[in-house]
Structure 1
Amino acid sequence: MPATSPLPVTLTGGHVRLEPLAPAHLDDLFAAGGDDDEVWRWQGVPTPRTPQALEANLTSLVADASYVPFAVIHLATGRAIGWTGFLDIDVRHERLEIGSTWYGRAHWRTAVNTEAKLLLLTHAFEELGMGRVQLKTDHLNERSQAAIARLGARREGVLRRHRRRPDGSWRDTVYFSLLAEEWPEAKARLAARL
């Protein structure tokens, strides 16, 4: 089947629902992680100190035609607790990236990230027909690197001096990927972890 470009959809699991990111999520998102330096430390943008600053970030994501953003809704509370999405989409070469992910600190080291990634990866490989999904993070963000590796993604390498951080320093970026032929084993492992 030829690959198709992702569109805004709703993906639901047992712990989270991913739905198209919208301004209606703003209050929940700010309560979950706005003004928290540790949540925003690796995001590549300054910590949003006000709801208006977070709204500016959200608005730019929603307006970006090359990004398909999702609000991550915690099913137990019905509240938005972070966001994630598809970017760097290349249908011709059957690849995309999962990124710009953050969750409120209360949801770190819970089933939230595992299930959100399971939903996104399932959609990418099984419904969109992608052959490769990449993820990337700051080389200093060891927590994120460990989480990506737990998904079954393979570390591919490091792009040195890749992006400027909000503080002006330079970030090296670690790239990971998961291929379609690796997905069945990774999917079984992720499902077992849930």
Structure 2
Amino acid sequence: MQSLPLSASIVGELIELRPLQAEDFDALYRVASDPLIWAQHPSPTRYQEAVFRQWFDEAMKSESVLVVIDRASHQVVGSSRYYEFNEQTREVAVGYTFLAREKWGGGVNGELKRLMLTHAFQWVDTAWFHIAGQNIRSQRAMEKIGGTFSHTSIKQLAVGTQENFFYKIERATFELRNSMAAT
């Protein structure tokens, strides 16, 4: 499966993004070990080291995961990734995002998504976000950054099923919204 090209570093005002490295496990697990991060998530036990280790190993194989670094403290504060990149349809999904709780409600998630979308829109015209139906916090965050609800889908899990909400952001809409915000 083809990956969206990643830059060595994507720098914003509050955060910096760079590709995940094997030596990031400890710093990223310190963030992920907070059970409240995963409370509304489809994998609510990801705060457990063995469960997180499995996620991390899969993330390393994907070659499309970004580590979020707080520019003021230089500490790892989360992660996000690109997935389902389709060069022919010019689409990519953005997700698997988690941030330290002290970064919730501020500007970090918005900046994270803006940086990732700006980067992705060099190669795609549509970015998709798949959000679990029970994850109200992420649904609200998606709407706050300009995501448009598209449809729902049922995903088969190892144990049962899960309803996912699909949101999208189109490049033209994103660029227009950013140009209006800049003026």
* Bucket of the pairwise TM-score, normalised by the shorter protein: 0.7 to 0.9
Question: Which letter does structure 2 place at the counterpart of 1:162?
Answer: K
- SS at the partner of 1:109? coil
Q: Residue in 2 aligned with 1:11?
A: 10
Normalised by the length of structure 2, the TM-score is: 0.88
Q: Residue in 2 aligned with 1:116?
A: 112
Q: Residue in 1 aligned with 2:92?
A: 96
Normalised by the length of structure 1, the TM-score is: 0.83
Tell me how far apart the structure 2 counterparts of residues 150 and 189 of structure 1 sit (CA, whole Å).
16
Counterparts in 2 of 1:119 and 1:89: CA distance versus 1, 3 Å: same
By how many angstroms is 1:184 displaced? 1.6
> Once the two structures are aligned, what percentage of the paired residues are identical?
19
Tell me how far apart the structure 2 counterparts of residues 94 and 21 of structure 1 sit (CA, whole Å).
24
Question: Which letter does structure 1 place at the counterpart of 2:171?
Answer: A
The alignment of Structure 1 onto Structure 2 pairs a total of residues equal to 180
Per-residue deviation, residues 21-57 of structure 1 (Å, max 9, x unmatched): 11222222222231x222123443332323x543332
By how many angstroms is 1:84 displaced? 0.3
Q: Residue in 2 aligned with 1:173?
A: 164
Question: Which letter does structure 1 place at the counterpart of 2:144?
Answer: R
Task: Give yes or no for contact 1:5–1:91 (8 Å, CA) kept in 2.
Answer: no
Task: Give yes or no for contact 2:83–2:92 (8 Å, CA) kept in 1.
Answer: yes
Counterparts in 2 of 1:121 and 1:74: CA distance versus 1, 3 Å: same
Task: Give yes or no for contact 2:152–2:165 (8 Å, CA) kept in 1.
Answer: yes
Counterparts in 2 of 1:186 and 1:169: CA distance versus 1, 3 Å: farther
Per-residue deviation, residues 105-133 of structure 1 (Å, max 9, x unmatched): 111111111111010111111x22x1111
Residue 138 (1) aligns with residue 132 (2): yes
**Which of 60, 63, 67 is residue 62 of structure 1 equivalent to?**
60
Q: Residue in 2 aligned with 1:49?
A: 48
- SS at the partner of 1:76? coil
Q: Residue in 2 aligned with 1:185?
A: 176
Give ranges in structure 1 of 5+ residues lacking alignment.
none
Tell me how far apart the structure 1 counterparts of residues 58 and 75 of structure 2 sit (CA, whole Å).
21
By how many angstroms is 1:169 displaced? 4.5
